[in-house]
Structure 1
C-alpha cells in the first residue's frame, strides 16, 4: 500500500499486519480532548487507553461542525461537498429544517463499510447517523426514531435493523425489555444500552469493523454548556461503555487483534445569547430573496434564485455595515476560507458566531434572545470546537501523543489498518503513531 504524505511517497507496511483483524470506532457525540487529558473528568477507561496508546491534543472537525455531516466524514474521509450530507436536516424552501437525514442513499461517497465488504470483511454498526438501509453493514442498529413520536425510537429501530429481528435479538440478550425513555436522549440509559448492544454484537458476531455512536454527552452539553455535573455524568456513562467494549473484546478473544479508536464529531461552546440573522434580511427587504439557515454556531446564506449574485453582494454589504455592536457578534466566512472546508456547494457565504453566541432561524421578534446551554456548528479553527482522538491496540504505538490531526485522517487510518481501498479519502496516515516500517 502506498500512502502520499505531502510530496513524499513512502511504502508503509504495518509490523505484524496480520494482527490487525478488527477495528472498533467509537464516536462520543460532543467529545472533547479535555475529557481524557484532564483528571477532573470521570474517564478512567479513556484515560488509561490514552496514556497507554495514542492520543491527539486536538482534532479539527468540518464545517458546519455538526453531527450528521461529521459522522459521514468519519465514514468516508471526505468533506460535505464530497459526501453530500451538508447539515443534520434537509433545508426547507422556507428556510426551516425539513426532516433529519437518515437514509444511506443520501451519501454520495464511498464508505468504510463498503470498503470492508469488498475486502471480504464483516461489518456492524450501532446508532451511527445516516445508516438506514445501508447494504454494506451486516449487523446494523441504525440511528432513527418515529416520525409521529420522535421520543420513541424502538419501533423505527426495529423496522430498519438489519438483519430483520436483530433489534429483538439484542433486546432479549443484551439490554432486557426497553422502556421508551431507556432508548432516547432523556436518560443516560441511552448510551448504556447502546453500549450493551455493541458489546453483545462484538461477542456474538466478532465483526471486523464496528462503528458505535454514543449521543448522551452531546445532549448534556446542549443543556448545560461545556461544564457542570450533567456533563460529568454523561461522559462518565460514555467512559463506562468504552470499558464494556474493551471487556467484550477480551471475552471474545479478539482484543490483541483489535484497533480501538475513540473520537467524536465536534466540541462545544457555552452560550448565553441567540442571534436571529434573518431579522437583518427582513429589515433590509431581502427576506423574500434569501435566508440564513442555522447550524447552531454558524448560519449559511441560501439565495432562492441560484443565479441571483446581486442579492449575495447586498447581504455582504449589509453585514459589513451593521453597527459595531452587532457586527462584532460574528465573522463572515466566504471565499477561500469557505472553499477549503468544502461545505454546502450551493452556498457562497456563511457566518460563524462569536464566543457565547449562536444563530437561530427566527424571522420574527427581536434580534437577540436568551440562549443558555451549549452549541456547536462553528467554523472549526479554534480549540473549543475541536474534537478528540484516542487509539489503542493492534497497529498503534504505545504511549504516544500528537498535537493535531484532522477528522478525515481517521477513516484513512482505518482503511490502512484493515488494508481496505478508500481512494477518495482526503486524510493523512501518520506513520509516527502506527507500528510501521518505512522504506522510500
Structure 2
C-alpha cells in the first residue's frame, strides 16, 4: 500500500512540476511573404507548420504595416512599434533623384527598443539569423546578420564572414553545420538559402541555447515575386521553410529545452498578383508638379514625398489631379489619406499615398508610358486587403489549449513574446495576444 501511495505521490509531483514549467526560450521565425493559407489549406506542403497551428494558437490573419514591405515590417516585429516610432519607413533610403538609394541594414537605423535589447536587460542570451537591420547590434550575442557585398549583391558569403558576431561564429557554422558552400547556395537565387539559414539556426540552438532566437527565411518572398501567389515554385519554397521549422522542433528536443520553449511563426506581408505597372510620376510631370513632389514606389503602393515638407498646397493639387484622372485609371488604385496613414503609423510628413488594386503595382519611372506589362506578385499595399495579410502561429508544450484568433496586428507579436519572457517593451504600440493560453 505504501508503494502505491509513493507511486501516486511521485506522479502528482511530476505533473505539478510540468504544469508549473515556465517558458525560458523563444524561437521567432519570420517566413518572408508568409500567408495564412500556408497553414489553413491542408493541400499546402507544410505538415510541420500545420501541426503547430492545430496544436497551438493561430490567427485568421495579421494586418501588417504600411507600406507592407520587408524591412519596416521586420522592425515592427522586433520592436512592437509602428514606423512613426522605429523610423524605418522603406526598405531603402530615398536617393536624390527620388529612386531607391542604399538598403537600410545597420541596426543604428532602428530608433525603438528591440526584443533583443529587452532580453539582454534581463540577463538573457540572444541570437539572430538573417534578420533584417541587425548588423552591428550590440544586444545580439550570436548574430548572423542579413548582409551582402553591395558591389556584388549575389555574394553574401564574404559579407557574412566579415560581419557575423562573435568573430569566428560563421566559420564555425560552416564547418560544423553547413559544410563547404559557394555563393550560389548562399543567396536569394537558390532554395538552398533557407536550408542553410536553417542549419545555422539549428547549430546556434544546440550549441548555445539562447533564450531568444530570431530567424528570417527569405525564399518564399522571391518565389511569389517571380510567379505570384500560386504555382509550383511557391509550393517548393514554402515546403523548404516548413522543413526548417521541423528541423528547429527537432533541435529543441535534442537540446532538451523543448518543454520550456515557445515557437512563433509569422511573416512580414502577404502577396498580390500583378499584371500591370503604373508610373504615377508621369502624371506629376504632365501636371507640372514634378518640381514640387514625387511618388516613391514600394511596389504595391506609392508615397507622395514633398520637396518642401510643409507644402500642403502641393498635396491638395496632387490629390485633385488624381481625382480628375479618367475613371479607367482611378479604378487601378485607391487614395490613402492622412488619417489612414496615421492609423498604421506610417512616415511622419507624408500625408498622401496611393495603394494599388488587385492586378496593379507602381514604378518610380518619371517618363514614358503610364502603364507597362509586368508579371508575378507584389506587396507594399495598404493593409485593408486580406491578400496582403501575413500569418501567425504560436506553439508551446505548456499551452493550456489550442485557439484560433481573429485578425491581429503585426505590432502585437513583440509584446506577446515580451510577456512570455517577462520582458519590458513600454513603447510598444501593440498588445499581447497570448493571454489565457500560456500558463
Structure 1 stretches of 4+ moved >6 Å:
none
Pick the aligned partner of 1:367 from 348, 370, 375.
370
CA distance in 2, matches of 1:341, 1:17: 38
Pick the aligned partner of 2:437 from 428, 434, 437.
434
When normalised by structure 1's length, the TM-score is: 0.94
User: Which residue pairs with 1:92 in the alignment?
Assistant: 95
User: Which residue pairs with 1:199 in the alignment?
Assistant: 202
User: Which residue pairs with 1:164 in the alignment?
Assistant: 167
- Higher radius of gyration, 1 or 2: 2
Asked if 1 retains the 8 angstrom alpha-carbon contact of 2:402 and 2:437, the reply is: no
User: Which residue pairs with 1:149 in the alignment?
Assistant: 152
CA deviations on 1:389-414 (whole Å, 9 max, x unpaired) are 11111553432111221111110010
CA deviations on 1:17-58 (whole Å, 9 max, x unpaired) are 652000000000000000011011100101111111111111
CA distance in 2, matches of 1:172, 1:288: 55
Question: 1:435, CA displacement in angstroms?
Answer: 2.4
Pick the aligned partner of 1:285 from 266, 283, 288.
288
Quick check: 397-406 or 114-123, which moved more?
A: 397-406
Q: Note the 1:229-248 alignment, pairs <5 A.
A: 229-248=232-251
Asked if 2 retains the 8 angstrom alpha-carbon contact of 1:214 and 1:238, the reply is: yes
Pick the aligned partner of 2:179 from 172, 176, 181.
176
Quick check: 334-343 or 23-32, which moved more?
A: 334-343
User: Which residue pairs with 1:342 in the alignment?
Assistant: 345
User: Which residue pairs with 1:10 in the alignment?
Assistant: none
User: Which residue pairs with 2:409 in the alignment?
Assistant: 406
SS in 2 for 1:131: coil
Q: Does 1:306 find its partner at 2:309? A: yes
Pick the aligned partner of 1:276 from 258, 270, 279.
279
CA distance in 1, matches of 2:278, 2:206: 48
Question: 1:168, CA displacement in angstroms?
Answer: 0.7
**Unaligned segments of structure 1, at least 5 residues:** 1-14
SS in 2 for 1:333: strand
Asked if 1 retains the 8 angstrom alpha-carbon contact of 2:57 and 2:395, the reply is: yes
Q: Does 1:228 find its partner at 2:253? A: no
CA distance in 2, matches of 1:346, 1:193: 41
Q: Which has the higher strand share?
A: 1
User: Which residue pairs with 2:5 in the alignment?
Assistant: none
User: Which residue pairs with 1:256 in the alignment?
Assistant: 259
CA deviations on 1:358-390 (whole Å, 9 max, x unpaired) are 001011210001110000000001210000011
CA distance in 2, matches of 1:178, 1:425: 40
Pick the aligned partner of 2:213 from 202, 210, 214.
210
Asked if 2 retains the 8 angstrom alpha-carbon contact of 1:59 and 1:405, the reply is: yes
SS in 2 for 1:108: coil
CA distance in 2, matches of 1:368, 1:40: 36
Q: Does 1:77 find its partner at 2:97? A: no
When normalised by structure 2's length, the TM-score is: 0.94
SS in 2 for 1:62: coil
Asked if 2 retains the 8 angstrom alpha-carbon contact of 1:276 and 1:361, the reply is: yes
SS in 2 for 1:403: strand
SS in 2 for 1:19: coil
Pick the aligned partner of 1:391 from 370, 391, 394.
394
Question: 1:335, CA displacement in angstroms?
Answer: 2.3
CA deviations on 1:310-352 (whole Å, 9 max, x unpaired) are 2111101100100111111111111211111111112111000
Asked if 2 retains the 8 angstrom alpha-carbon contact of 1:53 and 1:397, the reply is: no
Pick the aligned partner of 2:428 from 415, 419, 425.
425
Number of aligned positions between the proteins: 422
Q: Does 1:51 find its partner at 2:54? A: yes
What is the root-mean-square deviation of aligned Cα atoms in Å? 1.2
Q: Does 1:296 find its partner at 2:306? A: no
**Unaligned segments of structure 2, at least 5 residues:** 1-17
Asked if 2 retains the 8 angstrom alpha-carbon contact of 1:296 and 1:376, the reply is: yes
Asked if 2 retains the 8 angstrom alpha-carbon contact of 1:269 and 1:374, the reply is: yes
User: Which residue pairs with 1:21 in the alignment?
Assistant: 24
Asked if 2 retains the 8 angstrom alpha-carbon contact of 1:20 and 1:394, the reply is: no
CA deviations on 1:134-182 (whole Å, 9 max, x unpaired) are 0000000000100110011011111111001111111111100121110
CA distance in 1, matches of 2:260, 2:48: 19
CA distance in 1, matches of 2:398, 2:114: 21
**CA 1:433–1:330: 2 relative to 1, 3 Å:** farther
Quick check: 231-240 or 393-402, which moved more?
A: 393-402
CA distance in 2, matches of 1:265, 1:335: 23
